[in-house]
Every structure is written in structure tokens, then in C-alpha cells.
Amino acid sequence: MSNKPYARKLAEFAAGATFSDLPKEVVHQARRCLLDTVGVIIAGSAMADSSKAIQKFVKKMAPQGKASVIGTSQKVEGAYAALANGVAAHALELDDGSKYATYHPGASMIPTALALAEEQEATLGDVLLALALGYEVSLRIGTSVNPSHYLKGFHPTGTVGTFGTTIVSASLSGLDADGITSALGIAGSLASGINQYEIDGSYVKHLHPGNAARNGIFATRLAENGFTGPGEIIEGRLGFAHCFSNTFVPQILYEDLGGMWEFLKIYFKPYCSCRYVHYAVEAVENILKEHPFAADDIDFIRVRTHQNAKQGSDIPDYQTVLHARLSLQYGMGSMIVRGKAGLQEYTEDSIKDERVRALASKIAIEEDAEIQKHYPEKRTTIVEITDKRGETFSSTVDYAKGDPLNPMSDDDIREKFKDVTHTLLEDKQQEEIMNWIMNEEPTKKTLRNLMAMLSVNEG
């Protein structure tokens, strides 16, 4: 390893890469992430109050342009489109993630890529390359500072995501290694997002990936015009790693860069809730399959899990829909009371269900020291349900559905796309979008072809 700053090494990696350099499995993963996130944006743009609020803001504030605000007829300047679509991508808690970097990359990377590709008439291949690079760089940065970064109160989807969106933007804008190094230096000062939303369930969580998308474009455009940022933005004495985390493992940034792809470790979400909730919901499902019983039969539920889940998702007194999406108690309670925890279970009316709230009060979340030893490779969650007769039923989930070790197949991702968009797109439109993203030749058509397919009636 040379003495070059880490941002420079990452910039040289990004500047030197071409689409033909990408392994087939990396290209395929980029297609999967693109399809998954596009579906989630369409759904979020129509179903989430936070998305409606940001659409109104953008309509008032954004200059007209060539980039689409998905779910509306608006065409605005790219940074504003990326902002709005980033909010929509995160609003339903259905977006992809990394258990190692502890954040949701697709919600910021893909809105950035869609906006700039539409503005610049970039090809699908250009976009897939930019996404692969943006995911890879940001995942390595996020993994190098987590879990400490998250546990200090930062939301990596806003902070770490800004580095990734800068790489996406720089790749699509053709910056050289000098330009990308400056852009990353600027991005470090724009990286923002804190987890206070966990306390009251406010919308601001959804803003973080949209803001990261906007700021990645902003950093790139500043660098294009000669603005500079510190070269040692990651490892410097006052750099990102030391200001934002208590631990830093620098070799993660460069070891086998371009050979071993962190991007291939992304997880996908089958449920519209915080990833930590998925493990508990699956454990409840497992127990109910073997021992079906009603909520009234339950005396007490004990959940043993890791520190991140305890800190971020132990929310028995959920106040808003977003709060409920984060709450282990709500997800488990909904699964027991209703037998499901899908989109229809996360509405203003649904979270008022007193049956679920009564059950939530019986659920205790405990941090388990043995489980913590294996975090983040295993995000083990153990659920123990004790009934009123004193019998206890238990299930352990190490790898929730969507993890690379318990993967969602291409067919699963297609079914998810159809499920979350079925009220918004015709069947034929769904098939056209899925086939274009998964099968279109990378160099033949521009992303404007895809964006035309994403047209959704506002009425």
C-alpha cells in the first residue's frame, strides 16, 4: 500500500474502471439493485407522506430541467430530482442495504444515477458502471468505520451515502482521478445525518438518502469547476473516520479493491420495515408455523439480539408509521395478530390497532453479549414466546431472507417489484420495465428509454 491518501486510491480505482472491466456477477448485481430500487421509488412516490411533502417542495423550488421526479410529471434540474427520488426510495423501508456498512446504498446511489443519466443521455452501461463503483467505494468506507459510526448516533445512509453518490456522479460526469479526489474531499464536509428520528419517528430519516444524492451531485459539480477538498478526508486527523467514529479499519478501503467486491454482499428486503425487524418477524413466523396460537394466549415475549437492534429498534411505544417501521415490537405484534407485516400493515390506521399495541407491551428486547461477538456477519435474533401455561417456544434467525446466505432470487426481486407497483403500473408496463433493466444491452439505449417507461399518472 502506497502513502497516497485513501481518497486518492479510491479515486484512481473509480477513474480507471470501464464497463468491460466489471465481472459479470457485478453487472448482474447492479441490474438487481436498479430494478429493486426503481420499484421502491415508484411505490414510495405514491404511498408515503414524506415523499408527497418533498415533491411539493421540489415543485416550488427546483428549476426546470431534464430529470424526472418519479410519480409526477415534473422535469427538474438533476440534483432536485435526485433529492425527491431519494426520499421516495427510503420512505417505505423497502430499500437494499449492507449489514457490514450499516446503511442503505441504493436509496441514494440510484436516484443520483437516474437523474444524471437522464440529463446527460447516458447509456445503461454507463449507469451500471457508476452504480458498481459508487456502491463499492461507499460500502468500503462504511464498513471501515462501523458499527461505531452508527452507535455514535449517525445515520450512515446520509453520511456514508454521500461518498457513494459522489462516485456515481463523478463517474457519469467523466471526472479524472484529480477531480474525483477533490469531489470526495468536498463530500466529506457535506456528509450528514443523525438518528434522533428514532426517538419520535419524524420524516427526516427519509431525507437522508435524498440529501446524500443531491450532495453527491453538488460535490462533483464543485470539483468540475475547480473547487478543492482535503485529500486526507477519510483518515486525516480531522477527517471523516476520526470525527465520525471511535474505530477505523483502513485496510478495508483498499484490500483487493476491484478483485473482491463488497457490492456482492448487499441484502434485499422482503418486508417494509427496518432490517433488524426482519429477523424477529421471521422468527415469529417460524414459531407460529409449529405452534399456532392467538395473541391472548401469550404471557411474555423475550427477544435477544445485538446492540444495533437494541439501540435502533426497541420501540414499544411507536408514535408514527415510520416509528412502527423501525419497531421490533410492532413488526412482531402485527405478525402475531394479523399473520402478516406488509405494506397494508404500516398505515396510520393500522398502527392504531390496540391488539398490536397490547402485545407490544409484552415484548422485551435484550442485548446479548454472545450474539454481539458475531456481529455483523451474523445479526442473530432469538425470539422466545412464553404462553400463559408457562410453555416457551423459541426460534433463532441468523440470516434473514434477502441476505447473500439466504438470498432473494431474481424471480423474488421481480415478484417484489410487481407487488409494490401493482396498483400504480399496468401488467404490461411492469414487464417492460423489468425486462429492460434485467436484459437490455448495456450500450444500445440510454436511460431516457427507461425513464419514459416509469411515467405514472398523477391523477
Q: How confident is the model at residue 62 (pLDDT cuts 50, 70, 90)?
A: very high
pLDDT at residue number 336: 97
pLDDT at residue number 2: 63
Q: What percent of the chain has pLDDT over 90?
A: 97
Q: How confident is the model at residue 457 (pLDDT cuts 50, 70, 90)?
A: low
Model pLDDT for residues 390-410, shown as the tens digit of each residue:
999 999 999 999 999 999 999
pLDDT at residue number 76: 97
Q: How confident is the model at residue 120 (pLDDT cuts 50, 70, 90)?
A: very high
- Mean pLDDT in residue range 211-235: 98
pLDDT of 93 over the 50 cut = yes
User: How far is residue 165's CA from residue 111's CA, in Å, rounded to a whole number?
Assistant: 9
Those residues whose C-beta lies under 8 Å from the C-beta of residue 112, and which sit 6 or more positions away, are: 82, 86, 134, 165, 168, 169, 213, 216, 217
Determine how many CB atoms are found less than 10 A away from the CB of residue 394.
14
Q: How confident is the model at residue 3 (pLDDT cuts 50, 70, 90)?
A: confident
Determine how many CB atoms are found less than 10 A away from the CB of residue 95.
28
pLDDT of 252 over the 50 cut = yes
- Mean pLDDT in residue range 445-451: 94
* Mean pLDDT over the full length of the chain: 96
Q: Residue type at 99?
A: K
* 105 preceded by a cis bond (ω within 30 of 0): no
pLDDT at residue number 1: 47
Please say whether the beta carbons of 29 and 273 come within 8 A: no
Model pLDDT for residues 166-205, shown as the tens digit of each residue:
999 999 999 999 999 999 999 999 999 999 999 999 999 9
Q: What is the DSSP string of 340-387?
A: --SGGGSSTTGGG-HHHHHHHTTEEEEE-HHHHHTTTT---EEEEEEE
pLDDT at residue number 199: 94
Q: What is the DSSP string of 165-227?
A: HHHHHHHHHT--HHHHHHHHHHHHHH---BTTHHHH--THHHHHHHHHHHHHHHHHHHHHTT-
Q: What percent of the chain has pLDDT over 70?
A: 99
pTM reported for the whole predicted model: 0.96
Please name each of the domains of the chain with its CATH number.
6-270+432-453 (1.10.4100.10), 275-397 (3.30.1330.120)
pLDDT at residue number 293: 86
